[in-house]
Structures are given as structure tokens and as C-alpha cells.
Amino acid sequence: MNAAVKLVAQRVALGLLLLFLVSILIFVGTLILPGDVAQSILGQSATPEALANLRKELGLNEPALTRYVSWLAGVFHGDLGTALTSGQDIAESLGRRLGNTLFLAFWAAIIAVPLAIFLGLLAVRYRDRWPDKLISGVTLASISIPEFLIGYVLMYFIGVKLGWAPSVAMMNDSMSLGQKLHAIALPVAVLTLVVLAHMMRMTRAAILNVMQSAYIETAELKGLSMFTIIWRHAFPNSIAPIVNVVMLNLAYLVVGVVVVEVVFTYPGMGQYLVDHVSKRDVPVVQACGLVFAAVYIGLNMVADIVSILSNPRLRHPK
């Protein structure tokens, strides 16, 4: 078997195994959560008989292993269960919320990824000069500040004082694309600032590492301009680490939006998860956790596969 194909198969198998192990951790984690689901649904005035009947109806009296196998079997068939507090189908509700989260992450990525690569290339071009120091300083400052603080600062100055964008990112299906983009302007700005620094610094470090190669010195001796050397020779050969860090940050854009969605009251998966954690709605918490884990593991798997396929030694073995 070709070495690259074998490594790709191993990464896929490892990703599926990791997702299975994460599903176990999620299920066990929800079991040890404090409180009683039946009590939170019926309230403090519920009688012991009513609580016992509800626990039996919800299957809470069954062994944990039986409940886990039943839940996992439902997941394989696309059935994530029913929300205990609202009675709504979780898969249907999650579908809408996941779509909103992906919409937010997509537009943040559209801005952050090209901007990070451009700033990384610019920092390499002016290495150790004021543009490099300015870019590094500003991006490091942005990643050092918690996203909720950035969100509140932007909300106050841009949303309240200047009125350029809404402070609450409410969105519905009747809105046009322009209206939706205007509604999510502030959360997109926060997410962009949060992930920009890491991608930019990795791009800079990866290109600088390649710049030490012998063929770069040959290109310089040929009289090629520094921009041509960076863009046509150094950047293509540093794609693998850049793709890895981009995928990791894309995973964060989907999985790590919980704080941003709560700050801006955005109707995404993060807000949906927080709302149901407070209600101790275990099936919803399990479903959200599994979806977040699948997205994170999946994007990391894609990064590994791209790194493998971009390695010429594996694509063209001797």
C-alpha cells in the first residue's frame, strides 16, 4: 500500500476511535453532573411519586451502560433524542443552531485566514523592522485579551456609542444576506481578532524556517526580488504547518464560539448549550458536546491528511 494512503487511513481510524472515546467521556460527564433532571423539570414542589414516575418515563432508572448503548445507537441513526425541558427534537433544533454557528465561523474565517497569511508574509518581508514589530505587537495584544472583554469593548464603543453595528446579534431566516452580515459584524470582529495572531505567527515562523534552505539562497543569488522568493518559493513549501494551524483555528471558530455567542446573544450552538446546561437538560448537553467534538476532531483530521498529502516524500516514494 502507498505510504500516504496508509497514513491517511490510520489518521481516519484514529479520529473515529477518538470520537468514540470522547462520546464515552461526554456520557460519563453528564452522569456525574450535580442535581436531578426530574427535579429540575417538575420543580421543588414535586411529590416523590411524581419524581419517581418521571424518572421511569425518562429511562433514568435504567443501568448507565444500557442508556449509553441506546444513546449511541440513536446517534448512528441520526436520532439525538428529545429535549427534556421543551420536548423538541434535538437534531432539528441543533441543525438550525449549527447552521447559525457555521455561518458566523465561515465569515470570521473568510476575513481571518487571508489576513493572517498576508500579515505573516508582510512580517517576513520586513523581518525585524518596524512593520514586523508592529504586526507582532498588535496581534499578540489581541490574543492576550479575553474574547468576552473584547466583545464588551466593541459592543460599547462601536455598538452603543457610534451605532455602526447592533450590540445584540439577533438573526432570523427572513433577513437578507446583507442584514445578516450587519447583525454579526461585532462577533465576527471578535473572533477574527482572537484567531488572527496564532495563524499569523505560525505563518511567519514556517516561512522563516524555509527561508534558511539552500534553494532560497540560490534564488537570492539569481537576483530574484525578496517578495518573489517569499511568495513563489518559501510560501508553497511551508504550506503544511500553515494548514495545520489554520485548521486548528477553524476548529476553534466552531467549538470556541460559546463565549462570543453568549456575549452577543447569538442564536448558535454555544448559546443553545449554555441555555440547556442551566436547565440540566442532559440529552441536549450530550448532543452538543458530541457535535462539537466531531467538528474539532474532523478538522484536525483534515489538517493531518493535508499535511500528509502535501509531503512530496510520501506522495512520490522511491
DSSP string across 12-44: HHHHHHHHHHHHHHHHHHHHT-SS-HHHHHH-T
Nearest to 90 by CA among 79, 76, 74, 77: 79
pLDDT at 129 over 70: yes
pTM greater than 0.85: no
The per-residue pLDDT for 253 is 79
Which band of pLDDT confidence, cut at 50, 70 and 90, is reported for residue 167? confident
C-alpha cell at 277: 446546561
DSSP designation for 224: -
Contact residues for 248 (Cβ-Cβ < 8 A; gap 6+): 198, 299, 300, 303
Axis crossing angle, helix 282-309 with helix 90-125, rounded to the nearest 10: 40
Band (pLDDT 50/70/90 cuts) for residue 46 is low
Q: Can you give the pLDDT at residue 106?
A: 87
State the pLDDT confidence band at 207, using cuts at 50, 70 and 90: confident
pLDDT above 70: residue 304 = yes
Please tell me the distance from the alpha carbon of residue 263 to that of residue 149, in angstroms, as a whole number. 9
Q: Where residue 42 falls among pLDDT bands split at 50, 70, 90?
A: low
Question: Which percentage of the chain shows pLDDT scores above 70?
Answer: 82
Domains and CATH numbers, the chain: 90-280 (1.10.3720.10)
Distances 33 to 28, 293, 302 between C-alpha atoms, Å: 9, 19, 33
Measured between alpha carbons, how far is residue 167 from residues 23, 121, 195 in Å? 36, 34, 21
Instruction: Give pLDDT tens digits for 75-117.
Output: 887 777 777 776 777 888 888 888 888 888 888 888 888 888 8
For residue 225, the number of C-alpha atoms closer than 13 Å in the C-beta half-sphere is: 4
Amino acid (1-letter code) at residue 119: L
Q: What is the pLDDT of residue 26?
A: 85
Confidence of residue 132 (pLDDT cuts 50, 70, 90): confident
Each residue of 152-163: pLDDT tens digit?
Answer: 888 888 888 888
> Confidence class of residue 45 from pLDDT cuts 50, 70 and 90?
low
Mean pLDDT value across residues 15-40: 78
pLDDT at 43 exceeding the cut of 70: no
Q: What's the pLDDT score for residue 35?
A: 62
The label of the residue with cell 466593541 reads 154
- H-type alpha helices, 184-281: 185-210, 214-221, 226-228, 239-255, 258-263, 269-278
pLDDT at 123: 81
82 DSSP β-pair partners: 89
Query: What count of other Cβ atoms lies within 10 Å of the Cβ of residue 183?
Result: 21
pLDDT at 128 over 80: no
pLDDT-based confidence at 130, cuts 50/70/90? confident
For 28-49, what is the mean pLDDT? 66
User: Looking at 239-243, 251-255, 311-315, which range is the least confident one?
Assistant: 311-315
Q: Are 233 and 300 in contact (CB under 8 A)?
A: no
Report residue 315's pLDDT band, with 50, 70 and 90 as the boundaries.
low
pLDDT (mean) for 47-66: 70
pLDDT at 317 over 60: no
Q: Percentage of residues in the chain with pLDDT exceeding 90?
A: 1
Residue 116: CB atoms within 10 Å:
26
Distances (CA, A) of 116 to 45, 136, 185, 204: 56, 11, 18, 9
CA nearest to 195, candidates 124, 267, 114:
114
Instruction: Report the C-alpha dihedral over residues 288, 294, 299, 301, rounded to 10 degrees.
Output: 160
Q: Which three cell numbers stand for residue 58?
A: 425518562
